[in-house]
Amino acid sequence: MEHTVHPGSIAIVDFGGQYAHLIGSRIRRLGAFSEIVPPETSADQLKDATGIILSGGPQSVYDAGSPQADPKIFELGKPILGICYGHQWIAHALQGTVKPGKTKEYGRAQITITNPTAIPFPGVPPETTVWMSHGDAVQELPRGFQVTATSEDCPVAAMANVERRIFGIQFHVEVTHTTHGQQMLSNFVDLCNPAPWNMRSYRDHIGNELKAQVGDRKVFMLVSGGVDSTVAFTLLNEVLGTDRVQGLLVDTGLMRKNEVKMIEAALGKLGINNLKAVDASSEFFAALGTATEPEEKRKIIGDMFLSVQRRVAEEMALTGEKGWLLGQGTIYPDTIETGGTKHADKIKTHHNRVEAIQKMMEQGLVVEPLKELYKDEVRKLGEELGLPHDLVWRHPFPGPGLGVRILCTKEPEAIASLPKSPIEQSSVLPVKSVGVQGDGRTYRHAIAVFRNDPLMISEELIQLATEVPNKYKDFNRVLLCTSHSSPVEFTASAMGMTKERADSLREADAIVDEEVRKAGLHEQIWQLPVVLLPCGVVTGSQSIVLRPIASIDAMTADAFVLPSSVTKVITERILKFPGISAVLYDLTSKPPGTIEWE
C-alpha cells in the first residue's frame, strides 16, 4: 500500500517485533512527530521525512525472506539511525559483513564509547549500561564507517559514517534499561529537527480518524473499568456523542473485589449514563471449566466476551442492522504480544485479539481508538479528557482479569520430572508460566530461591533473576520465597477455574492493594499482579505470587522492590488464608519474563 510520510516526520522502518512503535512512543515523548512504515516503503515515499530510523527485529539480515529496506534511502541525504537489526541491515546493505556472534547477548551490557562526538553519544558518559538483544553481530564495517562504541562481547557495538550522517547501534536505546537511551535518541531527533507533536494534537487527530471510520454508524463499547477501556469509552462519547455509543460492562467473576460497583460509581460521577452492567460470572466459570493452557483460557475468555456482547445487543435491540461497530480499548502492547505486526512473534493472544475478533476487524467492524498508544500515553490522554486522577492512575488490570492470574493444572508434574535448578537453596515450581526471550514466547518453569532473611531483596537476587533465564533454557522466572527461609519442595494439585479460587485471589489482591496504598507506594508502582498457583509446600495447598512492576509502557519492566516491612505484613496476612501455604515474590524483569504469568 502506498504511503508517503508526512513532511517533517521521522520515518521509522518497522523490521518487526515490538521495537518500531516503542521508538515512536519515545520520540513522541520528546515532543517530535514520527510515522511508522513497513520495510518495503520506497525511498521516494520517504523523501519528505526529516530522518529515518531502522528498527530492531527478530530475524537475521542474511536469511531468505528476512525484511529488507530500500537501499536507495542512503541516497536521500537524510540522517539515518539503525538499531539492532537496523544496524546490521545498514552494514549488510552497504557491503559490510554480518555473522552470528560468538556470544549471544540478551540483557544489560556495558559499552565503551570510542567516539563521543558521533551520534547518538554527545553528552553520554564514556562507559554506560545498554540493553542488548541479539545473536548476530557486525563483523566487518562498510566502507567509510568507523567503530564508535564497543562491548566485551560485541566489538562493533556502534558505528558511524559521520560525513553521510548514517549511524548504527547494536543495542536498544528505546528501552528504559538503556541508562542514557532517551538522551541518545534525543541527540538523533535534534539532528533531524522534525515537526512537533503533543497529546492535544493527537486528540484532534484521532478524533478526526474516528469520525471518518465510524461515519454515521454507532459503537457498542466493551468497558472493563481499566484505564484503557475507560479512556477509549470517554473519547468515543466525546467524539461521537453518548447517543451513538453504548457501553457494556461484563462481570466475568474474574474481577477485583467490589470492582463492578466501583466502576459504575466512578463513571456515574462523570455523568456517563450510557453504560450497562451484566453479571455473566456463572457463564465464564462454566466455559473455563478445567482449561489449563494459557492460550486456551485466553481464547475462551475472549469468545465469552463476544458471546455476552452479542446476547446483550439482541436484548437491547442493537442488532438487525449494519450500523453498529464493536469498540475496544486495545493499546499497542496488546497488538505486539499477539503477534499483530508482520514480523512479530506471538507471545500470548489477548482476549481482544481472538479469532472471532480478528474476523470482525477484517470486515471493518471493530474500532480501537487507542491501538497506537502505550499506557503512559493513554494516561496523558485521560487527563487531557478530564478524567479524575485516581481513575487514570489505577494499576493496569488485564482484560481476562484474574483468569490469567489463576494458574490451573490437570496433571501435576512430579518433582522427579522437573528440570534441575542451577541455583543453590532453591526449588523448581511444578507449574509453568509465559515468558519472552529474544522476542520469542516461552512457557517454562520458575525457580523459587530461599534466603536466611526471606524479606531482603538484594542486588544479587535481581541480577540472578536476569542471568538465570538467559543462561538456562528451562527457566524463565526467578522468585524469592518470602514465607520460608529454608528450602522446601512445592507439590502441585489438579485445580481448575472456580469461584472459590477466584474469591481467594480477590481477597489476597485486596490486601496487597490496601498495604501498598497505606505505604504511599501505589503511584510509584506501575502494576502489581497478584497470582494464585495450584501448588504449595503442603499437598493440596496453594501459593500466592507478588509481582510488583516498575515500567513506563509495559514493553520493558523491572521488578519493583517493596520495603521489607510492607512485604512482611502482606506475607503474614496472606498466610492466614485457609489453604495458602507459601508467598513468593517475582523478581524477573521483562524480558525474559512477561508482566503477567499467562
Q: Which residues are tagged catalytic?
A: 84, 172, 174
Angle (CA) 401-406-408 rounded to 5° is: 135
Q: Is the distance from CB of 147 to CB of 141 less than 8 angstroms?
A: yes
Residue 277 burial (CB count, 10 A): 15
Bridge partners of residue 578, in order along the sequence? none
* Alpha-carbon distance values, 23 to 7, 184, 186 (Å): 19, 12, 11
Side chain identity, residue 239? V
Please report, for residues 53, 295, 297, 363, the alpha-carbon distance to residue 351 in angstroms, rounded to integers and kept in the order given.
Answer: 32, 10, 9, 18
Radius of gyration of the CA atoms of the chain, in A = 24
CA–CA gap between residue 565 and residue 567 (Å, rounded)? 6
Q: With contact defined as beta carbons under 8 Å apart, do 122 and 103 qualify?
A: no
**Alpha-carbon 247 to chain mean position:** 26
- What lies within 8 Å, CB to CB, of 173 at 6+ separation is 26, 83, 120, 130, 181, 182, 184, 185
The Cα–Cα gap between 100 and 365 comes to 44
User: 196: how many CB neighbours lie within 10 A of its CB?
Assistant: 10
As a 3-state breakdown, the chain gives helix, strand, coil percent values, each rounded to 5, of 35, 25, 40
Query: Is the torsion defined by CA of 41, 333, 439, 18 positive or negative?
Result: positive
The amino acid present at 192, given as its one-letter code, is C
Burial class (CB in 10 A: 0-12, 13-18, 19+), 243: exposed
Distances (CA, A) of 52 to 59, 171, 583: 20, 17, 48
C-alpha distances out from residue 506 to 13, 390, 409, 526, Å: 43, 20, 20, 19
Q: How far is CA 583 from CA 187, 489, 545, 568, 594, in A?
A: 45, 13, 6, 10, 19
Instruction: Please give the Cα distance from 401 to 383 (Å, whole number).
Output: 24
Residue pair 437/592 in contact by the 8 Å Cβ criterion = yes
- Cell of residue 147, nine digits: 567503530
Cα distance between residue 261 and residue 277, in whole Å:
10
> What type of residue is 412?
P
- CA dist., res. 136 & res. 57, Å (int): 12
Q: Do residues 60 and 439 touch, judged by C-beta distance below 8 A? A: no
The partner residues of 543 in beta bridges, in order of sequence, read 533, 582
Cα dihedral 197, 199, 202, 204 in deg (nearest 10): -120
